Chain A
Amino acid sequence: MIAIVNYGVGNLFSLSSSFAAIGRDVLVTSNPDDLQRAERIILPGVGAFEDAARKLFSSGLAEPLLEEVRRGKPLLGICLGMQLLFTKSYEFGEHDGLNLIPGSVRAISEVIPEGLKIPQMGWNSLHLAKAGGVFANSREGDYVYFVHSYSAHCEDKYITATTNYGSGLTAAVQSGNVYGVQFHPEKSGAVGLGILRAFCEVSE
């Protein structure tokens, strides 16, 4: 069973539907016991970092989540859920994340040329820095759907894919059993479902 962590942020209907569509047993849950029972965990998220981090830390789910990750259970953070994997975010101030991957989250306006629209909203192509993992079913140049105004900055060794929006932005990361994607695989058509399927098959 795949557990989607429900900590009161975002709408999880499409995400759970996409796992159902690839034939996976999925549970949207805010019960720590379910995280323990799950084979894999999804950390979703939309909206503002501060609000999401506060809800996650006060939900009582952050500790059990970290415990399962320490035991080697695969975790996939999606969109804001990926940003929460990092040490810190500088979205409206400075806020702590889960610190599962060393790095920070910063406004894309700091790195992209002026005149480009913010957020980056729409389909952009992936440049795969590392094959395998969640990209086992993907090809260089595959298109995925992005909606974001902030992006992650970390050492290259954690970056598994980038995308070009006037400048290279982090599109996906991995550190051991911890995976993150900035884009929305549940909204990226067949390519996105392929990425979710690949995550369901990464070994623990």
Chain B
Amino acid sequence: MITKRIIPCLDVRDGRVVKGVNFSNLNDVNSPVELAKFYSDNGADELVFYDITASSDGRKIFTEILRETARNVFIPLTVGGGISSVADFERVLSCGADKVIVNTGAIRNPGLIPEAARLYGSQCVVISADVKRVGGGFHVFARGGRDDTGIEAVGWIRRCVESGAGEVVLNSIDTDGVKKGFDLEMLRAVCEVVNVPVIASGGAGSIEDFITLFHSVPKVDAGLAASIFHFGEVAIADLKARMSEENIPVRL
């Protein structure tokens, strides 16, 4: 039986892993390559590397880190941050990424997802949406959660999947960094309308939050988190042992 995936997310800036709380107050955590190896050895099912560098120098460092990681870590590697063209896909895929996350790039350029899916296959194209409640609805936010695009999120994600995205990362800005659990309501709404894997992001504060997630929204395929893993608040081995006790299919 296919298992639910546990995915640590590494935000990388200037060659270091950082984690934002509500997208600000960044704290340096560790070396990305070392942390990736550590997670791979300790039960992570996949890794997400997010490039939050603004400068082109930083981008070069990121690419080098990616290459070094792919030389040493043999689990799926998903890469996002600053992906706005097919050339960006090519840049990270050639360094060992397996899947590429598009976020703001898909908002700015609606042709990016279909073009990338045609060139690399849908399984390679991940739509990530930063979503927040606005006036009783869900809105897509751009630029790392800073700008309200006014776009209705559920329909937007469905259209991205129809145009070629093979997986969805749903990041709730409302629950991100709060550590009181995933945004089950938002996840249910998205799982209703797509038939590709959905990765829940934003809000994990404890092992029980993952148990609640997989029990309450069975269509969710994976849980993603950063700081609780980086700061050792949750060990992936403990989380997976608990999932197994709860009869949630998991790779041990």
Contacts and interface: CB of A to CB of B under 8 A. Distances in A.
Interface of A: 11, 13-14, 17-18, 20-21, 46-48, 117-125, 143, 145-147, 164-165, 184, 186-190, 192-193
A18 B121 contact: no
A24 to B, nearest CB: 14
B121 A46 contact: yes
Contact of B196 (A117, A123, A124, A145): A117
Interface residues of B, number: 32
Given A11-B96, A187-B76, A122 B71 contact: no
Contact of B71 (A17, A121, A165, A193): A17
A187 B222 CA distance: 17
B95 interface: yes
Interface stretch (B1-9, B15-23, B148-156, B200-208): B1-9
A189 B40 contact: yes
Contact of B123 (A14, A121, A123): A121
Contacts of A123: 2-3, 5, 45, 251
Contacts of B74: 14, 17-18, 21, 186-190, 192-193
Interface of B: 1-3, 5, 40, 45, 67, 70-72, 74-77, 93-96, 98, 120-124, 166-167, 195-197, 221-222, 251
A117 B219 CA distance: 9
9 contacts: A14-B74, A14-B77, A20-B71, A121-B221, A122-B221, A145-B76, A187-B76, A189-B74, A192-B74
B72 A21 contact: yes
Contacts of A48: 121
Most-contacted residue by chain A among B67, B70, B121, B167 (CB, 10 A):
B121
A16 to B, nearest CB: 10
Contacts of B167: 121
A124 B75 contact: no
A124 B96 contact: no
A124 B249 CA distance: 9
Contacts of B70: 13-14, 17
Contact of B2 (A17, A120, A186): A120
A132 B10 CA distance: 38
A146 B251 CA distance: 13
B125 to A, nearest CB: 12
Contact of A117 (B1, B124, B221): B221
B98 A14 contact: yes
B5 A164 contact: no
A145 B1 contact: no
Given A122-B5, A122-B197, A122-B221, A147 B93 contact: no
